Amino acid sequence: MSGASAMEARAGNDQHVSLGTDVELDGSGSTGNGTLTYNWTEGGTLLSDQASFIRKFSIGTHTIKLTVSNVTNTDTDTVVVRVNHPPIADAGDDRVILPDTDIKLDASGSKDIDGSIASYKWTEDGAELSTRKSFNKIFDAGRHDITLVVTDDFGDTGEDTLEILVNCAPIADAGPDVTVPEGTMIHFNASNSSDPDGNTLYYKWKEDGGGILNLAQSFDMVLPVGTHSITLTLTDGYGATATDRVAIEVTAVDQKPPIADAGSDQTVLVGTAVMLDASGSTDPDGEIVKYEWLEGSYVLNESMVFEHIFPKGVRHITLVVTDNDGASGTDDVMVTTRSSMDMPEADAGADREALEGTEIILDASRSSGENLTYQWILNGTTISEAQTFYHLFDPGTYIVTLSVTDEYECTDTDEVSVAITTPAVGSGVNHIPAIPEVSRTRGLGSYILVALLVLVLAGIVFMRRRSATGSTGTTYGYNYKEYTPPPDMTGGKAGKAGKAGKAGKAGKAGKTDSKPATKTTTKPNAKPNTGIAPPGPKPVPVQPKVMVKVKVLDSASRTPISGAVVQTRSITRKTDAAGEAMFALDRGGQHTVIVSGIPNLYAGRTVSVEGDKGTILLSSAVRPDQEQDAKLRSVRGAFENRYREVSGYDRCIPNFYRSVAQRLIEYVRGMTAIQFIGGNVGPKEVTDRMISVIESVCTELSEIMVSKRNIDLYARSRAGTENSAGCNASQINYDRLSDLVSSPSGFVSATSPKVEQALLEIDREITSRTRNMSVIPITGVWSIAKSLLADRSGDDLEHAIRILIADTLLKYAKEMYENPEIVKRLKQGIL
């Protein structure tokens, strides 16, 4: 445009700036008549309506349009603002290296999006190391923070920092080689090991060709006779390792275990105190230093002699004595607490005589005792476990033994003689004479004649049997289905004449093994022998059936047991998932039900069921064997010895550690068969592996408990020890044990990620809480859990058990920070 009235917009020169620079855009050089208006826009966005303004622009190229107007004219101009993208520096990943390592530092990962990198600069603490893109250097031991600065062609810079840790490997010291006699508790100690950088060390003791012995700095254990090569492996927090070996020679000695004497079995009435006395126990080559009275896994008492009132029932008590060499011996004593002293008395009923084909009833209803169970034995074989039953004997004479047992496991026996005879011709039994074979050539008439003869003879026999009332000869006993035992009119067995020496069964005196094979009874007003056989058994009416439901449960947890084999009469069923089996049985009366035991899990049981349902409780057979029990007691004893070292100080935290060890040991002792139903691994294998892990955990926990740092902290509260009764770990439940034994590999896959996540979360929680209280954190339990999770050795079962125990320890680590007594000591700076 030209002339004074010409309108011209002038937006200024294009600009190239760094990110964050204030850019001034000035349109005041624009010309035109009158009053001018200004509009700065980018795209459709108004940036300003002033002649000039200042603004920061984002990275990239911005085209800004200036529009200048007066009343009559308008003109536009554009200006380009380019904001430079700074270069991106990449010094590489942080490194942990060993001393004398020639490491290459490389900035080739650096870049500039809208240009090029013009220069590189590597520095450490302000000192220049290199101006090359990459270079090699050997760093001294320690931590090095390296800074890389890159500059682009516009002059903008980018920065990145690299951390290089020159980590020295730890120095392992497993201690000197030793030779010890058999049974010696060997102390393994790696306390002379060290780390030049002061890093935390992790320990692993492993026997050549065997498994991991322990994960603690020091521990005690007994090794079998022989030469043992033990390797100590140290690992610092950055993965550097060192190893050392120690040789242990264990020589055989003639060591004799102590002899436990729990005394004689005792029977008392309810409410009577029972004295259990181990004073008869001896040790041939030393002295007894420890007594333990156990009922199952529960410790009743640890005194040589004590008194105890037992509830009604039978108790099997085990005495365990330990001598000064660590050897142990056991003895069992049975304590029966009865509601009365009436012992069971078996009564098998009168001797029986009958003809061949007669079904004999054997009846024990006159037996006496509390909650009896029955067993009828013939030639060493049990033929029934019912109180009353029917049996068909072949011809001959039999002695059947009845054994009755009361709820206190007391037993009595009685015998009954059963004589079965075959009737002979002329002995009062009618026989249809044999019909001579008729020649087939004699025609139809002969066959008709024979048939008529048979009918006539059958009629004669029928009429004679109707009129027969008895015989003056041998009298036979008959046993019908409708038979009801006669009431005991004498109140004893005096009426059982013929069983020599058992009149009244007073004191069982005179009871002999000899019995008459047969018995003759004379009936009053007997009719003369007519030679006609006695009447046969009456027809047995068909009994209506009823559906009987048998439920099989674990006696401890009342959990249904599936897959148990249940039998009654000739019917066999397996329990379903609800632990139930159904039977169609005769209505009324009792039914003998036999539940077969499950190998290594449950013992079998036989009970009587009345009505249409019954519940059978099976006792778990899962419990530590003698060797496992001894191992658990050894673990417990070793921990108790370490606990005594700090029991004179404030006991809160030591009590918690102690209860953690006790809970882990109780967990092994408390496992029952119900957790192993349908499992792929057996109780013994799981128990062995679990004891091994728990022993390592308890050893490491005891070392933490008695560490010098912790003892110094306990001592701060010694003068005014506060309440420590609440410093206990909670019980462990068995919710996931079934999953573990069902599929160890599946348990690892499903549980490991969750426990690893819990490890991180609890670590953050511990750090946060202790930071808020400005105290040193308690990380002992947490660190043991971390070590267990880091150990990937062994098979899936070992790995699964370590995860299970680690998860339990993490819960205990959290409990410590939720326990008010422990928190109180934390706030005081007292652990």
**CATH label of the domain that carries residue 594:** 2.60.40.1120
pLDDT tens per residue across span 310-334: 888 888 999 999 988 788 899 999 9
The alpha-helical segments, DSSP class H, found in 18-124 are: none
Same domain, 275 and 392: no
pLDDT tens per residue across span 488-508: 433 344 334 344 334 333 333
Q: What's the mean per-residue pLDDT of the chain?
A: 81
pLDDT tens per residue across span 68-79: 999 889 999 999
Going by pLDDT thresholds of 50, 70 and 90, the confidence category of residue 456 is low
Residue 44 has pLDDT above 80, yes or no: yes
Residue 138 has pLDDT above 90, yes or no: yes
Rounded (10°) CA dihedral 44, 47, 48, 54: -160
Q: Which residues contact 260 (CB under 8 A, 6 or more apart)?
A: 278, 281, 319, 320, 321, 329, 330, 331
Same domain, 675 and 575: no
Residue 520 has pLDDT above 50, yes or no: no
- How far is 515 from 612, CA to CA, in rounded Å? 41
Same domain, 156 and 191: no
pLDDT given for residue 55 in this prediction: 93
Same domain, 723 and 614: no
pLDDT given for residue 748 in this prediction: 92
Q: Which residues contact 771 (CB under 8 A, 6 or more apart)?
A: none
Residue 193 has pLDDT above 90, yes or no: yes
What average pLDDT does this structure show over 30-43?
91
Same domain, 673 and 792: yes
Which residue has better confidence, 4 or 45? Answer: 45
**Which two structure tokens, joined as six digits, stand for 376?**
């009828």
Residue 562 has pLDDT above 50, yes or no: yes
Identify the domain boundary among 166, 191, 219: 166
pLDDT tens per residue across span 224-235: 889 999 999 999
Going by pLDDT thresholds of 50, 70 and 90, the confidence category of residue 482 is very low
pLDDT tens per residue across span 572-616: 888 998 889 998 887 766 778 888 878 778 877 888 887 778 888
What average pLDDT does this structure show over 10-39?
91
Same domain, 634 and 769: yes
Q: Is 655 within the bounds of a domain?
A: yes
Neighbours of 583 (CB within 10 A): 21
Q: How many domains does the chain have?
A: 7
What average pLDDT does this structure show over 769-785?
76
Which residue has better confidence, 452 or 672? Answer: 672
591 closest CA partner among 360, 387, 404, 359: 387
Q: Is 511 within the bounds of a domain?
A: no
pLDDT tens per residue across span 719-742: 344 556 678 888 888 888 988 988
pLDDT tens per residue across span 389-401: 999 999 999 999 9
Residue 98 has pLDDT above 80, yes or no: yes
Min mean pLDDT across 189-203, 425-439, 769-783 is at 425-439
- How far is 551 from 553, CA to CA, in rounded Å? 7
pLDDT given for residue 544 in this prediction: 66
pLDDT given for residue 690 in this prediction: 93
Which residue has better confidence, 288 or 680? Answer: 288
pLDDT tens per residue across span 234-276: 998 888 899 999 999 998 877 788 999 999 999 888 888 899 9
- Report pTM: 0.40
Look-up of token digits 């899962």: 622
Going by pLDDT thresholds of 50, 70 and 90, the confidence category of residue 420 is very high
Q: Is 436 within the bounds of a domain?
A: no
Identify the domain boundary among 200, 226, 251: 251
Which residue has better confidence, 357 or 10? Answer: 10
Q: C-alpha distances in angstroms, 402 versus 344, 433, 511?
A: 12, 42, 14
Q: Is 604 within the bounds of a domain?
A: yes
Q: Is 144 within the bounds of a domain?
A: yes
Same domain, 579 and 716: no
Residue 516 has pLDDT above 80, yes or no: no
pLDDT given for residue 478 in this prediction: 38
Same domain, 663 and 789: yes
pLDDT given for residue 511 in this prediction: 38
Residue 46 has pLDDT above 90, yes or no: yes
Identify the domain boundary among 618, 637, 656: 618
- How far is 551 from 558, CA to CA, in rounded Å? 10
Same domain, 192 and 162: no
Q: Is 7 within the bounds of a domain?
A: no
Same domain, 585 and 717: no
Same domain, 782 and 641: yes
pLDDT given for residue 821 in this prediction: 82
- How far is 139 from 103, CA to CA, in rounded Å? 8
Min mean pLDDT across 271-280, 442-451, 470-479, 789-798 is at 470-479
Q: Which CATH number fits the domain that encloses residue 242? A: 2.60.40.10
Question: What domain range is 361 assigned to?
Answer: 348-425
- How far is 262 from 26, CA to CA, in rounded Å? 109
- How far is 493 from 508, CA to CA, in rounded Å? 11
Min mean pLDDT across 35-39, 530-534, 749-753 is at 530-534
Structural contact between residues 17 and 58, judged by C-beta atoms closer than 8 angstroms: no
Q: Is 803 within the bounds of a domain?
A: yes
Cα 570 off chain centre by? 37
Residue 715 has pLDDT above 90, yes or no: no
Same domain, 357 and 400: yes
Q: Give percent helix, percent strand, percent coil of the chain, each to the nearest 5.
A: 20, 35, 45
Q: Is 445 within the bounds of a domain?
A: no
